[in-house]
Amino acid sequence: MTLRSFLGTSALLGLVAGFALAEVPALSAVASTAWWWGGVGLVTGATMLSRMWVSKAATKSPMGFVAAVNGSTAIKMFSLLALITTYLVTHEEGRVPYALGVFGVFVLQLVLFVWDVATSVRSSEKKS
């Protein structure tokens, strides 16, 4: 998948996941808030930036590629942790549904990211 098609797919997945999870009855109360769409946007944006970083690192060195994958995953996890913690501290209701919903979006974006990176590594190995 090209970088441009990955960015489009990631954005579409973020929107679909945001709206689909909003239809889950337990999540409907928190899914209509700015916090919900901020969380979906954070995860989607971080995934897009991670993919751009990894695609640049893939052409340089194997160690740089591994560092980019590990670093981008750590950045996404810690930024999501900060967002969920902030929500848990500042809101009384909807804590568990919000945390689980945003984590669900994170998992979907992570699956897309890993699938795309693994596919691109396999295709580049076949070319060389």
Residues 43-94: pLDDT tens digits?
Answer: 999 999 999 999 899 888 889 999 999 999 999 999 999 999 999 999 988 9
Structure tokens at 102: 């945003």
Domain ranges of the chain: 3-118
Q: How many CB atoms lie within 10 A of CB 44?
A: 24
Average pLDDT over residues 22-39: 89
Structure tokens at 83: 């967002």
